[in-house]
A and B are shown apart, each in its own frame.
Chain A
Amino acid sequence: MRERHALYELIRLLETSEDIELLLERLIYHITELINGTGGVIRFVKGEDLHIVATYNIESDKTTMSVDQGICGEVIKDGKAKIFNRDQLEGKDLDIPAYSAICIPLKVQEEIFGTVLVYNKINSDHGFAEFTAEDAELGELFSGLASLIILKALRLKELQEKEIENKKAIEQIDELKSYLESLIHSSADAIVATDLNNIVTAWNMGAENIFGYKKEEVIGTPLPVIPDFLREVERFYLEKVTHGETLKDIETVGLTKDGKLIEVSTTFSPIKNAYGEIIGISRIVRDITEKKKLEKDLIRRNEELTKILFISSAVRSTLELNKLLRIILTVITMGEGLGFNRAVLFLVNEETNSLKGVMAVGPSSYEEAWQIWSSMAQEKKTLHEVLNELSRKEFVEDSFLERMCRNISISLNENTPIVRAVKEKKTFNIKDVHEEEADPVIIQQLGSSAYAVVPLISKDRAIGTVWVDNMYTRKPITDQDINFLKGFADHVAGAIENAWIFEKIEKAEKELEMLFNSITDLIYYTDDNYSIKKANKSFLDKLGISKKDVIDKKCFQLIHKTQHPLTECPHRKAMETGKAMVGEIEEDYLDGVYLISSSPIFDKNGNLAGTINVAKDITEFRSLKEKILIMEKMASLGELAAKVAHEIRNPLLSIGGFAKRLDKELEEGKTKEYVKIIIEEVKRLERILNEILSFVRPYSMDREKFKIKDLVDNVVNLFEATLKEHNNKLIVNVEEDFMVHGNYDKLKEVLLNLILNANDATDNGIITLKIKRPDRLPSSRAITEKEYFVIEVSDTGHGIKKENLKRIFDPFFTTKTNGTGLGLAISKRIIEDHGGIIKVESEVDRGTTFKIYFPAYKEEGGNNENSSS
């Protein structure tokens, strides 16, 4: 009955086995009740000790005892239940004073893990008794079962505890993880991870803040924050990282979602998996724009003063506008200078009332921008060095930007910021061209989305503007930037204006010089002592000497080859009277007649400082004038001569005619001789009459085409006898044959005339007839499309005296005893009627050369030779 009850309880115990303490308490209760004890204790072995784990009806102070101590010790040693009577308990370590006790080991498969100790058996009379063997048996059975239950419960508990521990560990990990995550998440630095294909795998809040991309936008896409121009460099970095290197604090440039370039410091590290393989790259990116700005501000403040001083000295070192402007713009755009991306200079053009782009500095594209920046970073040139370089360099810059800017011209009638900057002398910082009023031209041509304009003010006058932007870095232009630019602009405006004025003066001077030199009249300045201070090109050309041989030389020595100024020279008269003088001077040395106008120059005090002299070659003009006079003379002379000739001819005809009749009738004798003389003289008179008439009367000119050589051959044959008279030799040299369109007979007359004259003037000499191309045409034919050839007749005769040389073409001028003085006059007229020129050179006792410049006939093309009147 007791056993059944006990078993039942045991089975019930199984239900409570989840709570091990409760289980043990129930167990000790049931065992104690089963074998009728007053109280019991369960102890578990833990290492070398026994610990109380549950008690029933006992309060023991022996919570811990050694495994070999007391009765429990004995039972653990023996491995089986043991009954102790009063005597046996004497002197033992007991939990309570006891009459009897039973101790049962708790064991599973011979391994003892604890003891059950029950004290003081109560008999049916409620007195103490001793435990029986049956109690021991029952107790052992029960304990055996209980052990299993306990063990199971213990195992369960262990499992549960482990589970809890695991859970705790997981919780801890979770906590750590979330802590880390929040750390990563809330980091101000961008923390970005990519796989080896540069696909983003992690993107923190910092990254969102710095680059503007949301996590959802970038995860799984290629990393978008690398500017195109940095891709190569980035690849280089990644190469290093994928080989296990960590790159710390690399300063570079990042591209934000809205296209801005920001300065960043990046640390690259490899991401490894559990096996240590590199599977990705992490970047910790810090936006250092602010830091850089601060740094720059600091440097800026420190260097501002020195820089401005330095720049202004560089700026003042040149008066060359171009160079100056280039220096200024370079300073504005250099990182070490004002650091703008692009700078364009506009200057006011007063003539067109507009602002004109003059010069521009800056890259034309992102690629160029990167090239420039990287090369600058490599060379690490200081502002000082760059400016030095610039001031030595000759500028032939012709960037795309500059060419574009030169085409920009904005009317000052407009009212856009750039114009207002000039008109109102105000600075404009346009932060967004779409939000604020801006210059359409600038947006269109320069593609700028934000820019600033600062007026260039010199002496209270705006002479232009400096325009800047940060096209490539998209860095906003700060007030500080503007202030510095403004200060700088104020500083250089004066220098620009100086250079500008200098350039204008230089230009005007050049123009004047050009004008001076392009005037065909001879011009020269002299001081108050006839020393030439300046002379134009015509003057130098005419004298055939170089500038250095003219300056500071006396004009009369150069021009007239005299030691004193000529008395009749207008220059001298102007010097003497202090008034402008005009007069003609014939200067044989310069081969012509000059109209000279000489004007005195006075200094501030009214003293004569020198003269300006203009000499016009009027030789041609004068010869024309003379020619007209001659023609007028000839015309009246011609009419007179025609009348006279007619009146004379008839009597001559009668005289001569009858003399001939007489001659026929007379016998030989003295009278017949006389008549013959009359006949001869009449003939001579008639010849003279014919010559005069043929000169003063117009003659017809039938033209035909023939070769000049044919004419020459024809003429030459006529001379044999005549040449012999003077023992002369005629050499004919036709270097080149030319076609002529003219009057054969008249030209034959000319050649006959010239050769006869040469023969008359020469004895025992050589007469040369040459046909050739001219070396140089006379000045009056210098500009022509016609082709000319030269007929040259020269002799080795006695020559013509200088005073006669000019008159030999005058009608009725002759040095021959029996000439009419019309031969050369007629020849000249024939040549001129054909559009040619006849010139003579002669030297006494050396000989004379006649040169006829004659137009050659060209078959094709309009040949518009003048027909004679």
Chain B
Amino acid sequence: MKILAVDDEKNILMLYKAELEDEGYEVITANSGREAIELFETHKPDIVTLDIMMPDMDGIQVLRQLKQKNPNVPVIMLTAYDYRDDFSIWASDAYVVKSSDLGPLKETIREISEKFGLK
């Protein structure tokens, strides 16, 4: 299963890549919103984890474009804090509050892949 991790911080991408590969996933990373859209088209990931706050393009915008391209690919939003009241993230399939503890993220990925029938 191929996961596209999107974040503007390279360190975080590095961490996600290492941690998720340890879990046995194939991980590609995008450092910006634009790159994320390109990689989404070229690499056709099974799941996307998307940081919501990025300098070039807002995560919400990215989410909209990704969903327009292929609504069937689940997107997990990563937020700095509780975003539940924000209507715009409703389009996403799940969200996880960013934390040094990656347990909740890994758990969510597992739930989503099961729900979407991914390998």
Q: Does A645 interact with chain B (Cβ within 8 Å)?
A: yes
Contact of B81 (CB < 8 Å), options: A645, A659, A661, A682: A645
With the chains together, A421 CA to B50 CA distance in Å?
101
Q: Does B1 interact with chain A (Cβ within 8 Å)?
A: no
Given the known inter-chain contacts A652-B100, A679-B100, A686-B100, please indicate yes or no for A657 contacting B81, CB distance below 8 A. Answer: no
With the chains together, A646 CA to B54 CA distance in Å?
11
- Point out the residues of chain B lying under 8 angstroms from A661, CB to CB: 15, 18-19
For A690, the closest partner residue in chain B by CB is B81
Q: Does A656 interact with chain B (Cβ within 8 Å)?
A: yes
Q: Does A726 interact with chain B (Cβ within 8 Å)?
A: no
Do A660 and B100 touch across chains, with their CB atoms under 8 A apart? Answer: yes
Contact-residue bracket for chain A: 20 to 34
Given the known inter-chain contacts A657-B19, A700-B85, please indicate yes or no for A650 contacting B101, CB distance below 8 A. Answer: no
* Complex interface residues of chain A between 669 and 710 (CB less than 8 A to chain B): 679, 682-683, 686, 690, 693-694, 697-700
- Point out the residues of chain B lying under 8 angstroms from A699, CB to CB: 82, 85
Do A650 and B100 touch across chains, with their CB atoms under 8 A apart? Answer: no
Taking the closest CB of chain A, its distance from the CB of B52, in whole angstroms, is 9
- Point out the residues of chain A lying under 8 angstroms from B12, CB to CB: 650, 653-654, 657
Contact of B98 (CB < 8 Å), options: A649, A658, A698: A649
Do A694 and B15 touch across chains, with their CB atoms under 8 A apart? Answer: no
Do B53 and A657 touch across chains, with their CB atoms under 8 A apart? Answer: no
With the chains together, A657 CA to B14 CA distance in Å?
10
With the chains together, A694 CA to B15 CA distance in Å?
26
Contact of B101 (CB < 8 Å), options: A654, A656, A697: A656
Q: Does B9 interact with chain A (Cβ within 8 Å)?
A: yes
With the chains together, A694 CA to B80 CA distance in Å?
11
Do B100 and A659 touch across chains, with their CB atoms under 8 A apart? Answer: yes
- Point out the residues of chain B lying under 8 angstroms from A686, CB to CB: 99-100
Contact of B11 (CB < 8 Å), options: A654, A693, A700: A654
* Complex interface residues of chain B between 77 and 102 (CB less than 8 A to chain A): 80-82, 84-85, 97-102
Taking the closest CB of chain A, its distance from the CB of B100, in whole angstroms, is 2
Secondary structure at the B interface, as helix, strand, loop or mixed, is: loop
For A697, the closest partner residue in chain B by CB is B81
With the chains together, A659 CA to B97 CA distance in Å?
19
- Point out the residues of chain A lying under 8 angstroms from B85, CB to CB: 698-700
- Point out the residues of chain B lying under 8 angstroms from A658, CB to CB: 11, 15
Contact of B80 (CB < 8 Å), options: A649, A654, A656, A679: A649
Do B100 and A694 touch across chains, with their CB atoms under 8 A apart? Answer: no
Q: Does A655 interact with chain B (Cβ within 8 Å)?
A: yes
With the chains together, A661 CA to B53 CA distance in Å?
25
- Point out the residues of chain A lying under 8 angstroms from B19, CB to CB: 657, 661
- Point out the residues of chain A lying under 8 angstroms from B98, CB to CB: 649-650, 653
Output the residue of A654, A679, A693 with the most chain B CB within 10 A: A654
Do A693 and B100 touch across chains, with their CB atoms under 8 A apart? Answer: no
Q: Does A840 interact with chain B (Cβ within 8 Å)?
A: no
Given the known inter-chain contacts A656-B101, A657-B19, A657-B100, please indicate yes or no for A650 contacting B9, CB distance below 8 A. Answer: yes
For B99, the closest partner residue in chain A by CB is A686
Do A653 and B82 touch across chains, with their CB atoms under 8 A apart? Answer: no
Taking the closest CB of chain A, its distance from the CB of B103, in whole angstroms, is 10
Q: Does A752 interact with chain B (Cβ within 8 Å)?
A: no
Output the residue of B9, B12, B98, B99 with the most chain A CB within 10 A: B99
Do B82 and A654 touch across chains, with their CB atoms under 8 A apart? Answer: no
- Point out the residues of chain A lying under 8 angstroms from B11, CB to CB: 654, 658
With the chains together, A813 CA to B98 CA distance in Å?
27
Contact of A655 (CB < 8 Å), options: B18, B100, B102: B100
- Point out the residues of chain B lying under 8 angstroms from A697, CB to CB: 81-82
Contact of B82 (CB < 8 Å), options: A657, A660, A682, A693: A693
* Complex interface residues of chain B between 12 and 29 (CB less than 8 A to chain A): 12, 15, 18-19
- Point out the residues of chain B lying under 8 angstroms from A700, CB to CB: 84-85
Q: Does A442 interact with chain B (Cβ within 8 Å)?
A: no
Instruction: Digitize A828-851: 1 where CB-to-B-CB distance is under 8 Å, 0 elsewhere.
Output: 000000000000000000000000
Q: Does A642 interact with chain B (Cβ within 8 Å)?
A: yes
Contact of A682 (CB < 8 Å), options: B18, B97, B100: B100
With the chains together, A688 CA to B22 CA distance in Å?
30
- Point out the residues of chain B lying under 8 angstroms from A679, CB to CB: 100
With the chains together, A441 CA to B84 CA distance in Å?
81
- Point out the residues of chain A lying under 8 angstroms from B18, CB to CB: 661
With the chains together, A180 CA to B68 CA distance in Å?
143
- Point out the residues of chain A lying under 8 angstroms from B9, CB to CB: 650, 654
Do B81 and A653 touch across chains, with their CB atoms under 8 A apart? Answer: no
For B13, the closest partner residue in chain A by CB is A654
Do A646 and B84 touch across chains, with their CB atoms under 8 A apart? Answer: no
Taking the closest CB of chain A, its distance from the CB of B99, in whole angstroms, is 6
With the chains together, A795 CA to B90 CA distance in Å?
44
With the chains together, A827 CA to B82 CA distance in Å?
18
* Complex interface residues of chain B between 55 and 89 (CB less than 8 A to chain A): 80-82, 84-85
Taking the closest CB of chain B, its distance from the CB of A652, in whole angstroms, is 6
- Point out the residues of chain B lying under 8 angstroms from A655, CB to CB: 100
Do B15 and A657 touch across chains, with their CB atoms under 8 A apart? Answer: yes
For A696, the closest partner residue in chain B by CB is B81
With the chains together, A683 CA to B101 CA distance in Å?
8
- Point out the residues of chain A lying under 8 angstroms from B99, CB to CB: 653, 656, 686
Taking the closest CB of chain A, its distance from the CB of B69, in whole angstroms, is 27
Taking the closest CB of chain A, its distance from the CB of B51, in whole angstroms, is 9
Taking the closest CB of chain A, its distance from the CB of B46, in whole angstroms, is 23
- Point out the residues of chain B lying under 8 angstroms from A645, CB to CB: 80-81
With the chains together, A653 CA to B79 CA distance in Å?
12
With the chains together, A610 CA to B11 CA distance in Å?
78
For B78, the closest partner residue in chain A by CB is A653
Taking the closest CB of chain B, its distance from the CB of A666, in whole angstroms, is 15
With the chains together, A533 CA to B74 CA distance in Å?
81
- Point out the residues of chain B lying under 8 angstroms from A660, CB to CB: 100-102
Given the known inter-chain contacts A646-B53, A650-B9, A661-B15, please indicate yes or no for A656 contacting B81, CB distance below 8 A. Answer: no
With the chains together, A654 CA to B11 CA distance in Å?
6
Output the residue of B19, B53, B80, B102 with the most chain A CB within 10 A: B80
For A656, the closest partner residue in chain B by CB is B100
For B15, the closest partner residue in chain A by CB is A657
With the chains together, A699 CA to B85 CA distance in Å?
7
Taking the closest CB of chain A, its distance from the CB of B53, in whole angstroms, is 6
For B16, the closest partner residue in chain A by CB is A657
Taking the closest CB of chain B, its distance from the CB of A688, in whole angstroms, is 13
* Complex interface residues of chain A between 440 and 463 (CB less than 8 A to chain B): none
Contact of B15 (CB < 8 Å), options: A653, A683, A693, A698: A653
* Complex interface residues of chain A between 633 and 658 (CB less than 8 A to chain B): 642, 645-646, 649-650, 652-658
For A659, the closest partner residue in chain B by CB is B100
Interface residues of A (CB under 8 A from B): 642, 645-646, 649-650, 652-661, 679, 682-683, 686, 690, 693-694, 697-700
Return 13 A-B CB contacts under 8 Å, by A number. Answer: A642-B81, A646-B80, A649-B81, A649-B98, A653-B98, A654-B12, A656-B99, A657-B15, A657-B102, A659-B100, A661-B15, A686-B100, A700-B85
Beyond the given A653-B12, A657-B102, could you list 8 further A-B residue pairs with CB under 8 A, ordered by the A residue number?
A: A646-B53, A646-B81, A649-B80, A653-B98, A654-B100, A658-B11, A659-B100, A660-B101
- 9 nearest CB pairs, A to B: A656-B100, A657-B15, A646-B80, A654-B11, A693-B81, A700-B85, A649-B80, A657-B100, A682-B100
